[in-house]
Amino acid sequence: MAAWIQAPKGTKDILPKDSENWRLIEDIMRDEAAIHGFQEIRTPVFERTELFERSVGDTTDVVQKEMYTFLDKGNRSISLRPEGTAGAVRALLENALLNEGIPQKLYYLISCYRYENTQEGRQREFHQFGCEAFGTEKPIADAEIIALAHGIFERLGIRGLSLEINSIGCPQCRSKYHETLRTFLEESKEALCHTCLERLDKNPMRILDCKTPSCGEITKDAPIMKDYLCNDCAEHFFAVQSYLDAADIPYKVNTRIVRGLDYYTRTVFEFISGDLGAQSTVCGGGRYDGLVKQMGGAQTPALGFAMGMERLLLVMKAQQIQLPQPAVCRLYIASLGKAAQMKGFALSNMLHHAAIKAECDICDRSLKAQMKYADKIGAMFTLVLGDNELQQNKAELKYMRTGETMPITLGNDFLTEFLAAITQAESLALGSQS
């Protein structure tokens, strides 16, 4: 097949066989966010490149290596969003949402773009569900947002995710830690990978996050942030844990969780799955108390998380989690000849107005082909319309599961009679199950 007719590397079509699952998962996410008082925000797919450089941070992999950046026809540098927080904060500031009161609690379901080495669970276009809360530094807010993510995993029936939390302190206590860590790492500098060598000056803590085995070996005995937290940060971290305990949310403190983006402060967390191999983080998040100010707003503490939809679906597949299937087609109307097809169209329209799933022939196919199609879509009832049926204004409704038929009129009472037939069929089906 010619290359131009293949999807670009790192992208995937979401086909009808899967899109229903996506929709069900998204519905659960929207609902869980809503019951926690979060409201949806929709921001552009692209922003000025500078927005990401200044927020995500120019020492991060995302900005250094992974962004889709181009000049538009007006010579502006534009990037496809690699994540959702930057756009949400920009929109919050530009639209002065904080004037409407705090906390501001936002969620989004978005596509993201990163030029990555593609593998299972790592794509160039992928999707995130994310939540951001602005205007509170209180540890209860950290626990609440973690509880929201946890609630979604529970509702989806996902088992065995490990919640790992850490505190990476505030700029004050972190700078002391950075010094100590830098001194420690300087000693084995030669063995660090190229990227980490660059990080050593600007952001040595990120070296703890490096997946290169030689870097892992060096950082094994490195000093940990937890021992350097100032009193306020230590108390904050302790309180977050107390709230998680109160909500019965199990977690582990993992001092190596530092998160990949520059803007995080204090609490950081990940939900990690054992079912995903190398791409094991399904959800990551944390506090970013300095970001809003750094982007030109007033000092506004904030926090958030993002879940990777594709990784979530991989975990659900590995755990063989089945979601309820979509409503079946209630009626397929087969027809012979133009007049009957017209009648079938009118009747199916009548059902659509009553929000009942129904289909009629739109391909002018033989009766045999139409019935084969009805079978394939699993229609609950079928109706065959020909000249006779039109003349008598009556037809035989066939219940496909048992082959039983019942008469139905094709006039004004059609809808009422059809609804009665569904009720009868459902009670029969219930009866045969018990």
Binding residues for ligand ATP, per CB under 6 A? 83, 114, 116, 121-123, 126, 128, 260, 279, 281-284, 306, 308, 310-311
CB of 233 to ligand ATP, least distance (A): 21
Nearer to ligand ATP, 64 or 279 (CB): 279
List the structure tokens of 93: 């500031």
Distances (CA, A) of 53 to 85, 117, 138, 203, 296: 13, 21, 28, 15, 14
Residue 23 Rama label (left phi>0; alpha psi -120 to 50; beta): alpha
The nearer residue to ligand ATP, 240 or 258, going by C-beta atoms, is: 258
Give 333's contacts (C-beta < 8 A, 6+ positions apart).
344, 347, 348, 358, 359, 360, 361, 382, 383, 385
> How far apart are CB 281 and ligand ATP at their closest, in Å?
4
Cβ 421 to ligand ATP shortest distance, Å: 46
Residue 401: in which H helix or E strand, if any? none
Cβ proximity to ligand ATP: between 202 and 401 the closer is 202
d(CA 234, CA 434): 58
| Least distance between ligand ATP and beta carbon 61 (Å) | 7
In terms of CB distance, is 257 or 333 closer to ligand ATP? 257
How far apart are CB 293 and ligand ATP at their closest, in Å?
22
User: Please, what is the minimum distance in Å from the beta carbon of residue 212 to ligand ATP?
Assistant: 13
Contact (CB, 8 A) for 327 and 358: no
Closer to ligand ATP by Cβ: residue 83 or 389? 83
Specify the residue, 123 or 241, whose C-beta has the smaller distance to ligand ATP. 123
Instruction: Give the nearer residue to ligand ATP in terms of CB position, either 209 or 361.
Output: 209
Nearest to 100 by CA among 113, 91, 109: 91
CB of 203 to ligand ATP, least distance (A): 14
Residue 34's alpha-carbon distances to 31, 105, 225, in angstroms, are 5, 10, 35
Q: Which residues pair with 127 in a beta bridge?
A: 111
Q: Which is nearer to ligand ATP, 156 or 282 (CB)?
A: 282
Smallest distance from the beta carbon of 20 to ligand ATP, in angstroms? 21
Report the candidate in 251, 226, 244, 220 with the shortest Cα–Cα distance to residue 174: 226
- Torsions phi, psi for 337 (to 5 deg): 95, 160
Q: Which is nearer to ligand ATP, 283 or 410 (CB)?
A: 283
- Picking from 258, 237, 240, 236, the residue whose alpha carbon sits closest to that of residue 249 is 240
Residue nearest to ligand ATP (CB): 308
Catalogue the E-assigned strands of 76-156.
77-80, 104-113, 125-134
Task: Give the count of beta carbons closer than 10 Å to the beta carbon of residue 330.
Answer: 18
Instruction: Collect all residues with Cβ–Cβ distance below 8 Å to 288 and sequence separation of at least 6.
Output: 85, 263, 264, 265, 302, 303, 304
Q: Which distant-in-sequence residues (6+ apart) come within 8 Å of 273 by Cβ?
A: 158, 160, 161, 162, 280, 281, 282, 311, 315
**In angstroms, what is the minimal distance from the CB of 364 to ligand ATP?**
44
Nearest approach in angstroms of CB 118 to ligand ATP is 8
Q: Which two tokens stand for residue 45?
A: 């797919």
DSSP secondary structure string for all residues of 246-312: HTT---EE-TT---SSTT-EEEEEEEE-TTSTT--EEEEEEE-TTHHHHTTS----EEEEEEEHHHH
> Is the Cβ of residue 123 or residue 341 nearer to ligand ATP in the bound state?
123
